[in-house]
Structure 1
Amino acid sequence: MSAEESDALESGELTLIGRITDASNATLVCDAVSGANSVRCVYKPIRGERALWDFPDGTLAGREYASYLVSEQLGWSVIPHTVLREGPFGRGMVQRWIDTPDRHGDGAAGLDLVDICTPDAVPEGWFAILQATDMEGNPIVLIHADDPRLQRMAVLDVLINNADRKGGHALEGLDGSVYGVDHGICLHTENKLRTVLWGWAGTEVPGTLVADVGGLISSLEGDFGVRLGAYITPDEVVALYERAVDLVAAPVMPRPRGRRPIPWPAF
């Protein structure tokens, strides 16, 4: 994102385009306009957040922003450019919109990185995560690609303790990068990992990613930990630090205890 586009996202006038009606919290599509620069974005006002029993009210936007800061500190850019700012419905999270390609073709070419297909159509090398039936009772499988871009996202989810990694929250952009969205219920002190990206469970984390996590540990011991404390609690900062330390000490993706905890709906 250019400096001009970043400025528009951070301080441009938000013009409402529409609303994502199937989102659990108020999620508005806007254009952030500053002079000749316009950036399509998602705006989630704090006042539109639904109360949850296990997360304090009014904290989801801050968790989205804190998750973005962690992704940037790692150097991974998994989460689209995100800011906290005022908007037409009050303060909230504003995040760059990600355009995705239309999928066509047979096999993997016609599938998103996380998708659903029939059991006989699972591409070679893909992970089958969940078997189910469709509305007509036909067997289907929830799958995801064995893709390093997606694997990096799965490691980020372990670090930020993502309780809601749905299939629709993993987007392959037109620029070829893979982005994760919707991080409002992350960074809790208790283990709440719920994800569709269980394909790497029990496997070693690539060394380059482990090295990046080591850098995150160092930054959390310094000013970055203080910076995060403006958006999540001190205990949650400590929990993030401990998850990073544990991952470096034993660089293996966690296995679920019993059944794989998957958010519902899965997309």
Structure 2
Amino acid sequence: MSDSGRLWDSEAAALLSLIPDHDRLLQSVVETARGIFAAQASSIFLLDPQREHLVFEAVSGAGEAHLVGMRVPVDQGLAGWVMASAQPIAVDDVDNDPMFARNVAESTGYVPRSILAAPLLIDGDSIGVIEVLDRTSDPRGELSDLEILGLFANQAAIGLQMLRRAWLADARTDARGERVAAGERSGASASGSGSGSGEGQAAADSSLVSALRLLRSCNERQLKKALVVLNAVLDV
């Protein structure tokens, strides 16, 4: 098995164990955003691995009991436009905006009157969208609402990037440890049966089997979440 294969296994295993960190990060962002804007709801979508849907990853307010995990087409609605354009948008009356996808809103169980949305950007690429629905018109200081939401979007994106770096660092450390251990076993047995390379391969295969067992123990929702998180933190 190649080094990249072992790195992938380590990342997959680490990812599953750190999903709670990902959830807490995004949930804290939407809860704070909803509070700042005194809004009816706030949510964060992340792009799925197939780049066909935006997936609700965190929700505060309306829909928080059932929306996490729901998928909406990436090419529809205001969130889809923000994702594609990498630009924020503020719509105070959705009925007068042709980009508003009422059918998508109705499928969530909540149809807003106004929407504020901004992209989550890493190195200029959109990995998701944060939305605030039906915010109040109360003044919030010198910054505009879009500027404030942009700060929340940056917080979420930077947090995801930091998690990505931590996971990659752990995975590389594990991969180096496996290579050293496999080399020591290979050297110790080279003068005997000549099976060192076989033992090294067996050790790598064992790592793969362990990772696959961990994946197999997860339910369908956990597996889908793992794929979404993996796409967000690795495929950027």
TM-score (norm 2): 0.25
Higher relative contact order (CA 8 A, sep 6+): 2
